[in-house]
């Protein structure tokens, strides 16, 4: 880490080294395990992402969950694997990358038990007690109970995993028993542990497996690897591993691990979005635990404020500040605090778009940090950009997340940048959406970028400047980036309706833009039609309900805010809508908007129903504002005279999408300027699974000759060996 110049002494406490068993953490910042949607499919991308975190000053950088054995895996979700020795190189690359950044490398070992449907391995899932698989998807699969010999096997597999983790170079092994996902929680919780043998019943019995695995892991690694345990602070529901029981456990075995890592209850609790939970939301649950153990304690809470972090340490609540999302939004968070660069901290907005990567099995995005998971694929760094190329000047039109990020990144590259915004406020959609219920923290997208731009002498900002094509040509910039945004449609066209719904002009119809501009339906019955399926429909329902509207929430989906399942918000949104008294009309879409009513129909049966309404709010789809781009294209012949070399439309103006797509578009524009056009070549790096040597047969496969002899009709798959011919040498397994 760079010398701590400029550090505010209030935060010295955050930079004290802390011992974790045989290792010493250089400060109190731990990047706790988090998924990234890349995992075993994109090992180098994941390794580089972790390296950048280490460079950013975190003392310990953990992997995501690492499956220790093929008999428990969570396909379709893509995490890491340590199924056999062949998985070691990918993990070793990650450990090495973390070490290069100066951090301790941590690995989170997981056996998913009742949480793993084994869709890939096809093994019968093994759990502490039998029952249907408990995961995000209701797979019609049940797990069988482990008997004592299975438990002995599992202990051995954990021991092997400890040894493999040590061979891969990891300093800290974390045992995953949180969020309802890890076998250690399944043993501890009476919800999932219904055993009557030595592993069930009393708390010491339920903790037996955890104790055994820790003792055997410590012995196997000769005490050279630090061991942490990640447990939920509270499991809700009857028989759940409660906060009180957790306290009992820590009091009973205060010195069991080298580090206690406390996560909130479920993943939904632990990664609660800012719309539903404030920073440090779990403080009451973690307070007092530290007093029960001499071992250090780490906890999370979407911490982005150095004051909140230092207070928790000073108050004796935590020894380490744990972070997943804040470390994604700003991998350099510790370093910026150390250097007193508080304004430069890119605060997580708590939108959970990063989590949607895991749940859609795609490399995770971050709204605030568009370089996340592009560090290796595209060579993007969250803090550094290449110096500018041959061009000098760029005019960016529109200051939404796309335009702001483009201007910031171009400014950081050293271009002369002019940013023109039609309105007074910078931020585009973010400046407006941040005023909606629960979305205040999203304003950080604009705040951080406007703050960064304000420090750049080479970026000029022009407010109240709606530019025409003539203005753009007269400006004289070499390149023009149009980030002019999008407007919500009024005619119900989106996914379900591809043509406008017949609408009586007597019915007032509002869009989210109207509402954000302060044009709202009067109190009374309102039909809100949501064919967008993300946050906007429910946020507006909340706003309307607060205003005294009786909201009928109509959606063709089978649940409201269906896509928000990917951001772990869907359940909370549905609960909130119900608590607001909104009437949910699911699998329904409007057939006609009449004066005083909306006729809706069931998407399955077509059965119609009439909903009385004084107004309609359409949350459907958006249309890109590309008029300026079209005008400029029509004046192509004038470009050379104006010194204009390129015009590009980006962000929502090109194709509307969530905010993360817009910040990414801004960064991509800035990265591409003056770069060699890859043409038809792939514009990012990827890894492809190595093919097994041809001809390799599974040891238990039917021999080739017998195959031929018993097969009446040769398939042509394998050629029969002539009698007496020598059997070919079997290639080594891959
Ligand atoms: P994105 O998400 O792609 O960044 P936004 O809708 O958030 O898009 O932002 C677009 C911004 O562009 C808005 O603030 C809007 O006022 C501004 N804008 C649109 N047209 C013009 C124009 N012709 N001149 C200047 N600013 C414009
Ligand atoms: Fe935070 Fe959103 Fe980035 Fe996730 S995607 S780290 S929640 S800003």
Residues 484-523: tens digit of each pLDDT: 999 999 999 999 999 999 999 999 999 999 999 999 999 9
The best mutation among 351, 443, 446 to test binding of ligand 2, ranked by most ligand atoms within 8 Å of the C-beta, falls on 351
Least confident residue range of 94-103, 397-406, 695-704: 695-704
Residue 616, SS3 per DSSP: strand
Instruction: Give the atom of ligand 2 at the shortest distance from the alpha carbon of 347.
Output: 8
How confident is the model at residue 724, as a pLDDT? 42
33 close to ligand 2 (CB < 6 Angstrom): no
Strands 646-649 and 479-482: parallel
pLDDT bin (cut points 50, 70, 90) of residue 5 is low
- Which residue's C-alpha comes closest to atom 24 of ligand 1? 466
- Which residue's C-alpha comes closest to atom 14 of ligand 1? 428
The best mutation among 278, 325, 564 to test binding of ligand 2, ranked by most ligand atoms within 8 Å of the C-beta, falls on 325
382 close to ligand 1 (CB < 6 Angstrom): no
288: left (phi over 0), alpha (psi -120 to 50) or beta: left
Q: How many CA atoms lie within 13 A of 368 on its CB side?
A: 28
Which one of the ligands is nearest to 429 CA? 1
Which one of the ligands is nearest to 31 CA? 2
419 close to ligand 1 (CB < 6 Angstrom): no
pLDDT bin (cut points 50, 70, 90) of residue 708 is very low
Strand partners, 493: 497
CATH no., domain 492-622: 3.50.50.60
- 713 CA distance to ligand 2 centroid (A)? 58
Query: How buried is 220 (Cβ within 10 angstroms: 0-12 exposed, 13-18 middle, 19+ buried)?
Result: middle
Q: Pick the closest to residue 437 from 373, 371, 495, 516 (CA basis).
A: 516
pLDDT bin (cut points 50, 70, 90) of residue 415 is very high
pLDDT bin (cut points 50, 70, 90) of residue 435 is very high
**Residue 198, pLDDT above cutoff 70:** yes
- 513 CA distance to ligand 2 centroid (A)? 24
How confident is the model at residue 705, as a pLDDT? 58
Q: Are 321 and 13 in contact (CB under 8 A)?
A: no
263 close to ligand 1 (CB < 6 Angstrom): no
Return d(Cα 366, Cα 352) in angstroms, integer. 8
Q: Average pLDDT of 413-440?
A: 98
483 close to ligand 1 (CB < 6 Angstrom): yes
Strand partners, 612: 597
**Residue 623, pLDDT above cutoff 80:** yes
- 537 CA distance to ligand 1 centroid (A)? 22
Query: pLDDT (tens digit, 9 = 90+) per residue, 37-79?
Result: 999 999 999 999 999 999 999 999 999 999 999 999 999 999 9
557 close to ligand 2 (CB < 6 Angstrom): no
Q: Looking at domain 9-359, what is its CATH homologous superfamily?
A: Aldolase class I (3.20.20.70)
423 close to ligand 1 (CB < 6 Angstrom): yes
446 close to ligand 1 (CB < 6 Angstrom): no
Percent of the chain with pLDDT over 70: 95
- 420 CA distance to ligand 1 centroid (A)? 9
- 483 CA distance to ligand 1 centroid (A)? 6
**Residue 255, pLDDT above cutoff 80:** yes
Which one of the ligands is nearest to 368 CA? 2
Q: Average pLDDT of 397-403?
A: 98
pLDDT bin (cut points 50, 70, 90) of residue 266 is confident
How confident is the model at residue 281, as a pLDDT? 79
DSSP 689: P
Q: 730 or 208: which carries more pLDDT confidence? A: 208
**Residue 640, pLDDT above cutoff 80:** yes
368 close to ligand 2 (CB < 6 Angstrom): yes
pLDDT bin (cut points 50, 70, 90) of residue 692 is confident
Which one of the ligands is nearest to 660 CA? 2
How confident is the model at residue 263, as a pLDDT? 92
Neighbours of 215 (CB within 10 A): 13
Q: Average pLDDT of 353-364?
A: 96
- Which residue's C-alpha comes closest to atom 3 of ligand 2? 366
Return d(Cα 397, Cα 467) in angstroms, integer. 8
Q: Average pLDDT of 295-321?
A: 93
Which one of the ligands is nearest to 275 CA? 2
DSSP line for 2-47: ---TT--GGGGGGGS-EEETTEEESSSEEE-----S-GGGSHHHHH
Query: pLDDT (tens digit, 9 = 90+) per residue, 8-19?
Result: 999 999 999 999
Q: What is the crossing angle of helices 536-546 and 570-580, to 10°?
A: 20
pLDDT bin (cut points 50, 70, 90) of residue 702 is confident
**Residue 709, pLDDT above cutoff 60:** no
Q: How many CA atoms lie within 13 A of 471 on its CB side?
A: 14
366 close to ligand 2 (CB < 6 Angstrom): yes
Residue 340, SS3 per DSSP: coil
**Residue 711, pLDDT above cutoff 70:** no
- 386 CA distance to ligand 1 centroid (A)? 26
329 close to ligand 2 (CB < 6 Angstrom): yes
> Cis omega (within 30 of 0) on the bond before 76?
yes
- Give the per-residue SS3 of 436-484: CCCCHHHHHHHHHHHHHHHCCCCEEEECCCCCCHHHHHHHCCCEEEECC
- 439 CA distance to ligand 2 centroid (A)? 13
Query: pLDDT (tens digit, 9 = 90+) per residue, 610-622?
Result: 999 999 999 999 9
Q: Does domain 393-485+625-672 sit in CATH 3.40.50.170?
A: no
Report the mean per-residue pLDDT for the chain. 94
Domain ranges (residues) in the chain: 9-359, 393-485+625-672, 492-622
Which one of the ligands is nearest to 663 CA? 1
Instruction: Give the atom of ligand 1 at the shortest distance from the alpha carbon of 653.
Output: 3
């Amino acid at each position: 880490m760079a010398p701590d110049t400029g550090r505010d002494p209030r935060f010295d406490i955050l930079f004290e080294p802390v011992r974790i068993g045989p290792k010493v953490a250089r400060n109190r910042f731990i990047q706790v395990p988090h998924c990234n949607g890349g995992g075993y499919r994109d090992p180098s991308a994941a390794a580089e992402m972790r390296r950048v975190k280490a460079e950013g000053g975190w003392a310990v950088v953990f992997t995501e969950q690492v499956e220790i054995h093929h008999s428990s895996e969570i396909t379709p979700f893509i995490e890491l694997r340590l199924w056999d020795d062949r998985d070691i190189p990918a993990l070793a690359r990650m450990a090495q990358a973390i070490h290069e950044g100066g951090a301790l490398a941590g690995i989170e070992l997981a056996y998913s038990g009742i949480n793993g449907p084994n869709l890939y391995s096809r093994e019968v899932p093994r759990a502490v007690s039998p029952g249907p698989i408990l995961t995000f998807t209701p797979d019609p699969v049940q797990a069988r109970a482990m008997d004592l010999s299975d438990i002995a096997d599992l202990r051995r597999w954990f021991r092997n995993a400890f040894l493999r983790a040590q061979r891969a170079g990891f300093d800290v092994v974390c045992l995953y028993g949180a969020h309802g996902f890890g076998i250690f929680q399944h043993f501890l919780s009476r919800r999932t542990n219904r055993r009557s043998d030595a592993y069930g019943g009393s708390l010491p019995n339920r903790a037996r497996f955890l104790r055994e695995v820790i003792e055997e892991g410590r012995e196997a690694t000769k005490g050279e690897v630090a061991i942490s345990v990640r447990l939920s602070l509270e499991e809700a529901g009857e028989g759940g591993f409660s906060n009180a029981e957790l306290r009992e456990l820590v009091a009973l075995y205060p010195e069991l691990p080298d580090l206690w890592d406390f996560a909130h209850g479920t993943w939904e609790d632990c990664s609660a979005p800012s719309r539903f939970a404030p920073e440090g939301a779990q403080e009451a649950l973690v307070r007092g635990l530290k007093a029960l153990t001499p071992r250090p304690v780490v906890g999370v809470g979407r911490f982005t404020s150095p004051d909140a972090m230092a207070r928790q340490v000073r108050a004796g609540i935590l020894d380490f500040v744990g972070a997943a999302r804040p470390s994604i939004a700003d991998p350099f968070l510790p370093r910026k605090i150390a250097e007193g660069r508080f304004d430069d901290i890119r605060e997580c907005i708590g939108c959970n778009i990063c989590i949607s990567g895991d749940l859609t099995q795609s490399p995770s995005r971050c709204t605030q940090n568009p370089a996340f998971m592009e560090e290796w694929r595209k060579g993007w760094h969250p803090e550094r950009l290449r110096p500018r190329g041959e061009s000098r000047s760029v005019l960016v039109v529109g200051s939404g997340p796309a335009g702001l990020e483009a201007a910031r990144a171009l400014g950081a590259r050293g271009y002369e940048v002019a940013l023109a915004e039609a309105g007074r406020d910078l931020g585009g959609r973010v400046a407006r959406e941040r005023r909606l219920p629960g979305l205040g923290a999203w304003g950080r997208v604009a705040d951080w970028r406007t703050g960064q731009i304000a420090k750049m002498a080479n970026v000029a900002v022009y407010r109240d400047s709606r530019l025409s094509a003539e203005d753009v040509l007269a400006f004289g910039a070499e390149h023009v980036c149009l980030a002019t945004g999008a407007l919500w449609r009024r005619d119900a066209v989106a996914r379900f309706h591809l043509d406008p719904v017949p609408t009586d002009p007597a019915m007032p119809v509002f869009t989210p833009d109207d509402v954000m501009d302060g044009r709202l339906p009067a109190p009374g019955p309102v039909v809100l039609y949501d064919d967008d399926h993300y946050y906007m429909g429910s946020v507006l329902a909340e706003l309307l309900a607060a205003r005294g509207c009786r909201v009928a929430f109509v959606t063709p989906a089978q649940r409201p805010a269906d896509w928000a399942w990917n951001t772990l918000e869907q359940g909370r949104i549905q609960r909130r809508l119900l608590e607001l008294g909104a009437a949910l009309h699911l699998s329904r879409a409007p057939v006609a908007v009449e004066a005083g009513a909306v006729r809706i129909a069931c998407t399955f049966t077509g059965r119609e129903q009439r909903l009385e309404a004084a107004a309609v709010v359409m949350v459907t789809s958006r249309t890109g504002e590309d008029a300026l781009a079209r005008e400029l294209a029509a004046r192509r012949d004038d470009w050379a005279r104006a010194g204009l070399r390129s015009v590009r439309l980006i962000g929502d103006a090109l194709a509307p999408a969530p905010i993360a797509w817009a910040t990414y578009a801004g960064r991509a524009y800035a990265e591409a300027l003056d770069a060699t056009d890859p043409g038809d070549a792939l514009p990012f790096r990827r890894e492809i699974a190595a093919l097994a040597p041809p001809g390799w047969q599974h040891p238990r496969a039917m021999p080739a000759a017998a195959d031929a002899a018993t097969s009446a009709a040769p398939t042509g798959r394998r050629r029969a060996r002539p009698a007496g011919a020598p059997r070919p040498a079997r290639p080594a397994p891959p």
